[in-house]
Amino acid sequence: MKRRYFLWAGLIVLVTLVGTFFLYPRLPDTVAVHWNVHGQADRYGSKWEALALMPAVMVGLTLLVAALPWLSPRRYKVNDARLGYLDMMIVLLAFFAYVHFAVLSIDAGARLNAAKAVLGGVCALFAAMGPVLTRLPRNFYVEVRTPWTLANEQVWDSTHRFAAKCFTATGLAGLVTTFAGGAFWATAVLLGVGAMAPVVYSLVTYKQRERRGEA
């Protein structure tokens, strides 16, 4: 199973590199590398910065995930039957590839609103992460890592079932508000609520178990 996931990771990285190679001739020597919330470029750099940054991040992420089983403390191993962290890796790599091509396309002349394109990608990331959350073993690296989820495995599992619903719902709602012309701040607040609700849920759930003597 691990081999299949890492093959997918390698394929995503390879497609990103090949696509970058084909977009290279269309880019000017100086390109926009950052935009404000209104979609206006506010920082420029060399095209090599735009070309190399995201693929380097993707390669680094793939190597880091390969090392996680060795890095993890014994009680928090991520190499058991619950390999949700590998699914998460694929989702993140796909998101980084999307952002990379969105940015390069804008720099190459595509008429896209950078802020809306990236925010829509973040919403899609939330929605895609939802189904993966329930398959993540307790760990120190990804997802709802609060003192209460790390202290109790039942709280971890319960919190991530709740978080899966929050992430999927807010991600899909965010996609609707983003591409229906909603304000940037409204979608950002929506995603913030979706991200923070599981944190509060983990505290409440842990304290309930603590009162019952189960934590």
**pLDDT the model gives residue 50:** 84
Q: Locate 78 and state its tokens.
A: 């991520």
- Residue-wise pLDDT for 80-128, tens only, equals 545 677 888 899 999 999 999 998 998 888 888 888 899 999 999 999 9
Task: Outline where DSSP puts E strands in the chain.
Answer: 30-35, 41-46
H or E segment to which residue 10 belongs: helix 2-23
Provide the 3-class DSSP secondary structure of residue 32: strand
Q: Cα dist. 16→66, 185, 186 in Å?
A: 20, 30, 31
**DSSP H helices in 72-152:** 84-107, 114-133, 147-151
Give the three-state DSSP class for 123: helix
Tell me the pLDDT tens digit for each residue of 149-160.
999 999 999 999
Please say if the pLDDT value at position 2 is more than 80: no
Chain segment 46-65, per-residue pLDDT in tens? 888 888 889 999 999 888 87
* pLDDT over 80 (residue 68): no
Residue 209 has which token pair? 């178990």
CA distances from 185 to 37, 65, 128, 174, 182 (A): 9, 33, 21, 11, 9
**Token pair in block for residue 19:** 């696509």
Burial class (CB in 10 A: 0-12, 13-18, 19+), 148: buried
